[in-house]
């Protein structure tokens, strides 16, 4: 059963702590994306990757980092430099060059304690 999985569903972060959100896909997609969604707002692009070992900053990359060592995986680290990390984080994937049609995971809700 193909799809995108994100874990955990809920994540709690203490002040000054880095946390990593997992995103895995078995759709054989080359491209993967990370978005942030604040309550009542649309999605904003954090990072995207069109191919393994390459990634680009989106609109709000400050305070975040990513890696793309495997085609199936695109983890997002929320660093302590991100001053307002509480949000709903969504991962997506697409066929390379077809970023208009994206398939999304269920999301991770990050809360700061």
Partner 1 sequence: DAKTTQPTSMDCAEGRAANLPCNHSTISGNEYVYWYRQIHSQGPQYIIHGLKNNETNEMASLIITEDRKSSTLILPHATLRDTAVYYCIVPHGSGNTGKLIFGQGTTLQVKP
Binding site for partner 1 (CB under 8 A): 4, 31, 33, 42-43, 45, 48, 50, 56, 58-59, 88, 90-92, 94, 97-107, 109
From residue 92, alpha-carbon distances to 10, 23, 26, 80, 113 in Å are 18, 8, 12, 24, 27
Complex with partner 1: residue 76 or 92, whichever CB lies closer: 92
Complex with partner 1: residue 4 or 19, whichever CB lies closer: 4
Complex with partner 1: residue 80 or 95, whichever CB lies closer: 95
């Amino acid at each position: 059963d193909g799809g995108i999985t994100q874990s955990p569903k809920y994540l709690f972060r203490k002040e000054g702590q880095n946390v990593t959100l997992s995103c895995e896909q078995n759709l054989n997609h080359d491209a993967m994306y990370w978005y942030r969604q604040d309550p009542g707002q649309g999605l904003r692009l954090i990072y995207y990757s069109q191919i393994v070992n390459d990634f680009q900053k989106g609109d709000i990359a400050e305070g975040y980092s990513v890696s793309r060592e495997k085609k199936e995986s695109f983890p997002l680290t929320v660093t302590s430099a991100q001053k307002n990390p509480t949000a709903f984080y969504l991962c997506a994937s697409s066929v390379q060059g077809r970023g208009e049609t994206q398939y999304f995971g269920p999301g991770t809700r990050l809360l700061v304690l």
